[in-house]
Chain A
Amino acid sequence: MSMGEATPTPWDAQGNLEVLTFDLGDETFALEAVLVCEILDLLPCTAVPGADPLVGSVVNYRGKIIPIADLRRAFAMPQADATLDSRVVVIAIELAGETIQVGLRTDKVHEVTTLRRDASEAPPAVGMRWRRDYVRALVRRNQGVVVLPDLSAIFQVFAGDDAGASTLH
């Protein structure tokens, strides 16, 4: 998977995409509803010293140990504490031929909704405060703009052989 090229967004034949929308910081993000396994209340998490800060802790999810990913790290957003509305969205993504479950921290989960391709735009080449390759598209809605992140790109760094090595000295 070459760097710098965003994963194509899987709009359906009618140009729609079912997504789950959620808040993180000031922004609203969306991800394909088909990836979502479950939405959980915050669980006690255990820090993994030496792990990449993006996936700095793990939780016990139905007897499996899964990482908790904080997309704020990917988008260089400031850290914030959890609130009563915070949820963990457990998703299953494909990475280097494996299906991996990850829990995404969110500030607030909205609804499952439909995004329209004709309301979407590729991220601008300049002027965006985030890494361009982490964003697949920006989609306009009545309530504002929704960011469609490129999860494959964000987690790509863990796909290589010596990738994701320990940061412990």
Chain B
Amino acid sequence: MNGDPVAAFRVEAGELLDQVEQNLLDLGDRLDDRDLIDAVFRGLHTLKGSGAMFGFDALAGFTHHCETAFDRVRKGLAPLTAGLVEVILSAMDHMRALVEGAAPAEIGNAILARLQQAVTERAAPVAPAASGWRLRFRLPPEAMANGTNPLALLDELRGLGTCRVTALTDAIPPLADLVPTECHVGWEVELRGAIARDDIDDVFIFVMDDMELTVEPLAPATEAPVLPAATLPAAVVAAAPPADSAPVAAPPAETPTRTAKSGESVRVSAERLDELMDRVGELVIVQSRLSQLAHGHHAGAAGELALRSIAEEIERLASELRDTMMVLRMVPVASLFNRFRRLVHDLARETGKTIELTTDGETTEVDKTVIERLADPMIHLIRNACDHGVGTAEQRISVGKSPVGHIHLSAQQAGGEVRIAIRDDGRGLDRVRIRAKAEAQGLIQPGQAMSDHELFQLIFHPGFSTAAQITNLSGRGVGMDVVKRTIESLRGAIDIGSIDGQGSTITLRIPLTLAIIDGLLVRVGEGRYVIPLAAVEECLELSLEEDLRSRGRSFITLRDRLVPFLRLREMFETGTRPDPHQKIVVIATGAERVGLVVDQIIGSHQTVIKSMSPLHRRVATFSGATILGDGGVALILDVVQLVMAGQHQEARLRAAG
């Protein structure tokens, strides 16, 4: 089922536009990065081509002009400035609108005009081209047999300007050795006219790699030639008016019957598809066993046994298939965070503040539908942070901060939930103002004692907004209560933290229907355990001597630091003897470290986290369990608990003297 190609194009165009936008934002910081410039150009070029192929003529036309203008930058004829990046960013917005199908032509033309200005301003002076060229070329012997027609090439050159063609016959072999299908003639051509070198190269484009070609400018004629650089803008401007009619005529054809939302497809990693294929492969095998059974290949008790075994296999496969399919719906939050780069960029410009956006944990994965529904609340929260949280450069300097404001987005999986935090380093929440506003609105009694937590939760009350100036940005106070409702609809919660003068942090906690863990699989005694890879700093060997030496001490020195370690074998009371070559897995949470002594490190392992039964909920050492490839169970170690346990042990030993 291939579906609607136009819809497919819309999705691809959306992704392409996202990619180019990211590149442009990066380019804003590194204006001379050639790779990025090339990447943007390629993106525009592909958009143009695909757009044309699928009937999006207005898009193709508009993008063509952008591409041409940007090509000047690529060729070094126009410098890339921050201003130009801005214009192209607005061009991206217009392109998005064109993909949707409705974009006013005036906006498009206005953008093109600004684009023009940006690339012809201060254009680097180009050396006056010669009034013509002299070129000499020889084709490789097999060129004609392979379909190249030298006469057609000469005709093309004649089409560029006045030519005087001389054949070079010095390389023609004697008749006896002459192969009629080989080309032994060379040509010298004097080409007169205001011709760009590129146009000559274009003629020979297919044979350029294999031929001999020398090109020299002819001596300039008496009158000063027109700068070829100037002909380009003229060509583009001339092309712009026709673009007037194109967008007007095209929209009826492009008006979509439905707008394809970008959320309708999912990128899937090849690895996961491979897993799916493996499961399907196993399913096929079991099916054939079932078929054998059905055809009476096993009788009596053997048949019953076979049936039971097959039933169990199918059950296992069904469960794994279900898990794998749910995993396919998981998407890294990077896709969400990338959207906000543009947002912060625009907000910074609008508010006149300098704001830097940093992120971590972009690879944390969340179900696709959750991502979509988090987008709007997060946009609102980030707007708040930009608008009310972070101050202007002057305000920041006056309190001793750097003029650049910071907003930090982070995401991590912890327990059965994902935590997404938005932190700003502005002035923090104004408790006094919140109180005052709450009292004014009659939400609390004057003088009523409130904890910070209770106070901050008032912000979510509909109609509550302490912004002294309701800026265009954050709008009215309707935002926060909608944010809260959206998060609650995801069965999540919002935590607010604030430190006066230092900033505030808003943490969204969403429970996961399905969590995946990248873990390190280890063996302690006869049991297998998973240590979240994100917490693993390093793995070391615990030599037998070290082990004996550290009896009763439980510290090891790791690069001049004392790291407490826990012997999991003892802690879990496995009752087994230690392996001769034990390993220490050093895990860390924040600044605290602990080493876990295990019998064997089996390898890394990615799988679905299963929650523990409520009967085991309070066994804090384990945050969940996972099912291994052989159907066995491995418990997932809770890093925070173990680090704490390590610290308690440290304290105890120290107290014991």
With a CB–CB cut-off of 8 A, which chain A residues contact B621? Answer: 49-50, 166, 168
CA distance A86 to B631 in the complex (A): 20
Q: Which chain A residues (28-66) contact chain B, with CB distance < 8 Å?
A: 44-52, 55, 58-60, 62-66
Q: Which chain B residues (304-337) contact chain A, with CB distance < 8 Å?
A: 315-316, 319-320, 322-323
Given the known interface contacts A44-B632, A62-B315, A63-B323, the answer about A166 and B610 at a Cβ–Cβ threshold of 8 Å is no
Determine whether B399 belongs to the interface, using a CB cutoff of 8 Å to chain A. no
CA distance A77 to B622 in the complex (A): 29
Given the known interface contacts A44-B632, A67-B613, the answer about A62 and B618 at a Cβ–Cβ threshold of 8 Å is no
CA distance A51 to B319 in the complex (A): 27
Which residue of A has the minimal Cβ distance to B612? A65
CA distance A65 to B635 in the complex (A): 10
A58 touches B613 (CB 8 A): yes
Which residue of A has the minimal Cβ distance to B613? A67
A62 touches B319 (CB 8 A): yes
Q: How many A-B residue pairs have CB under 8 A?
A: 100
Q: Which chain B residues (597-641) contact chain A, with CB distance < 8 Å?
A: 610-622, 625, 627, 631-635
Kindly identify which residue among A60, A69, A155 contacts B631, using a CB–CB cutoff of 8 Å: A60
Determine whether A163 belongs to the interface, using a CB cutoff of 8 Å to chain B. yes
Which residue of A has the minimal Cβ distance to B632? A44
A64 touches B610 (CB 8 A): yes
> Counting chain A CB atoms within 10 Å of each CB, which of B615, B619, B645 scores highest?
B615
CA distance A67 to B634 in the complex (A): 13
Determine whether B220 belongs to the interface, using a CB cutoff of 8 Å to chain A. no
Given the known interface contacts A65-B610, A67-B615, the answer about A58 and B571 at a Cβ–Cβ threshold of 8 Å is no
Which residue of B has the minimal Cβ distance to A49? B572
B618 touches A100 (CB 8 A): no
Given the known interface contacts A59-B633, A62-B319, A63-B323, the answer about A46 and B527 at a Cβ–Cβ threshold of 8 Å is yes
CA distance A49 to B316 in the complex (A): 26
B632 touches A46 (CB 8 A): yes
Given the known interface contacts A49-B573, A64-B610, A65-B611, the answer about A162 and B616 at a Cβ–Cβ threshold of 8 Å is no
CA distance A63 to B574 in the complex (A): 25
Which residue of A has the minimal Cβ distance to B323? A63
B573 touches A164 (CB 8 A): no
Q: Which chain A residues (68-87) contact chain B, with CB distance < 8 Å?
A: 69
Which residue of A has the minimal Cβ distance to B631? A60
Q: Which chain B residues (65-119) contact chain A, with CB distance < 8 Å?
A: none
A65 touches B613 (CB 8 A): yes
CA distance A166 to B614 in the complex (A): 13
Kindly identify which residue among A59, A63, A67, A168 contacts B616, using a CB–CB cutoff of 8 Å: A67
Determine whether A119 belongs to the interface, using a CB cutoff of 8 Å to chain B. no
Determine whether A98 belongs to the interface, using a CB cutoff of 8 Å to chain B. yes
A46 touches B613 (CB 8 A): no
Chief secondary structure at chain B's binding surface = mixed
CA distance A67 to B618 in the complex (A): 13
Which residue of B has the minimal Cβ distance to A54? B615
A164 touches B617 (CB 8 A): yes
Kindly identify which residue among A44, A59, A102, A169 contacts B615, using a CB–CB cutoff of 8 Å: A102
With a CB–CB cut-off of 8 A, which chain A residues contact B613? Answer: 55, 58, 65-67, 100-102
Within the complex, the shortest CB–CB distance from B643 to chain A, in Å, comes to 14
With a CB–CB cut-off of 8 A, which chain B residues contact A100? Answer: 613-615
Given the known interface contacts A66-B613, A164-B615, A166-B618, the answer about A48 and B627 at a Cβ–Cβ threshold of 8 Å is no
A60 touches B632 (CB 8 A): yes
A46 touches B633 (CB 8 A): yes
Interface residue range, chain A: 20 to 34
With a CB–CB cut-off of 8 A, which chain B residues contact A62? Answer: 315, 319
Given the known interface contacts A49-B571, A168-B571, the answer about A155 and B632 at a Cβ–Cβ threshold of 8 Å is no
Which residue of B has the minimal Cβ distance to A160? B618
CA distance A37 to B517 in the complex (A): 30
One digit per residue, 1 when the CB lies within 8 angstroms of any chain A CB and 0 when it does not, for chain B 524-538 equals 001110000000000
With a CB–CB cut-off of 8 A, which chain B residues contact A158? Answer: 614-615, 618
> Counting chain B CB atoms within 10 Å of each CB, which of A48, A64, A100 scores highest?
A48
Given the known interface contacts A63-B319, A64-B610, the answer about A50 and B619 at a Cβ–Cβ threshold of 8 Å is yes
CA distance A162 to B621 in the complex (A): 14
Kindly identify which residue among A51, A60, A66, A169 contacts B627, using a CB–CB cutoff of 8 Å: A60
B618 touches A164 (CB 8 A): yes
A164 touches B627 (CB 8 A): no
B634 touches A63 (CB 8 A): no
Which residue of A has the minimal Cβ distance to B625? A65
Q: Which chain A residues (121-166) contact chain B, with CB distance < 8 Å?
A: 155, 158, 162-166
With a CB–CB cut-off of 8 A, which chain A residues contact B320? Answer: 63
Which residue of B has the minimal Cβ distance to A64? B610
One digit per residue, 1 when the CB lies within 8 angstroms of any chain B CB and 0 when it does not, for chain A 101-124 equals 110000000000000000000000
A58 touches B616 (CB 8 A): yes
Within the complex, the shortest CB–CB distance from B641 to chain A, in Å, comes to 9
> Counting chain B CB atoms within 10 Å of each CB, which of A46, A98, A158, A162 scores highest?
A46
> Counting chain A CB atoms within 10 Å of each CB, which of B527, B573, B618 scores highest?
B618
With a CB–CB cut-off of 8 A, which chain B residues contact A101? Answer: 613
Kindly identify which residue among A64, A102, A164, A169 contacts B619, using a CB–CB cutoff of 8 Å: A164
CA distance A35 to B571 in the complex (A): 36
Within the complex, the shortest CB–CB distance from B530 to chain A, in Å, comes to 12
Within the complex, the shortest CB–CB distance from B410 to chain A, in Å, comes to 29
With a CB–CB cut-off of 8 A, which chain B residues contact A67? Answer: 613, 615-616
CA distance A163 to B620 in the complex (A): 12
Determine whether A24 belongs to the interface, using a CB cutoff of 8 Å to chain B. no
Within the complex, the shortest CB–CB distance from A129 to chain B, in Å, comes to 25
Which residue of B has the minimal Cβ distance to A166? B619
With a CB–CB cut-off of 8 A, which chain A residues contact B574? Answer: 49
With a CB–CB cut-off of 8 A, which chain B residues contact A64? Answer: 610
Which residue of A has the minimal Cβ distance to B571? A168
With a CB–CB cut-off of 8 A, which chain A residues contact B322? Answer: 63
Within the complex, the shortest CB–CB distance from A6 to chain B, in Å, comes to 21
With a CB–CB cut-off of 8 A, which chain B residues contact A44? Answer: 631-632
Within the complex, the shortest CB–CB distance from B644 to chain A, in Å, comes to 12
CA distance A168 to B613 in the complex (A): 18
A60 touches B614 (CB 8 A): no
CA distance A78 to B86 in the complex (A): 78
CA distance A168 to B622 in the complex (A): 11
Which residue of B has the minimal Cβ distance to A161? B618
CA distance A165 to B617 in the complex (A): 8
Which residue of A has the minimal Cβ distance to B568? A49
Within the complex, the shortest CB–CB distance from B306 to chain A, in Å, comes to 15
CA distance A66 to B627 in the complex (A): 12
Among all A-B residue pairs, the 9 with the closest Cβ atoms: A63-B319, A49-B572, A46-B633, A65-B625, A164-B618, A165-B618, A166-B619, A65-B610, A158-B615
22 residue pairs from A and B, CB less than 8 Å apart:
A46-B527, A46-B625, A47-B526, A47-B572, A48-B616, A48-B619, A49-B572, A51-B615, A58-B613, A60-B627, A60-B631, A62-B315, A62-B319, A63-B319, A65-B613, A67-B615, A95-B614, A102-B615, A164-B617, A166-B619, A166-B620, A168-B645
14 extra interface residue pairs, beta carbon distance < 8 Å, beyond A51-B616, A58-B613: A46-B633, A50-B572, A58-B612, A62-B319, A63-B316, A100-B614, A101-B613, A158-B614, A158-B615, A165-B619, A166-B619, A166-B620, A168-B645, A169-B571
Name A's B-contacting residues (CB within 8 A). 44-52, 55, 58-60, 62-67, 69, 95, 98, 100-102, 155, 158, 162-166, 168-169
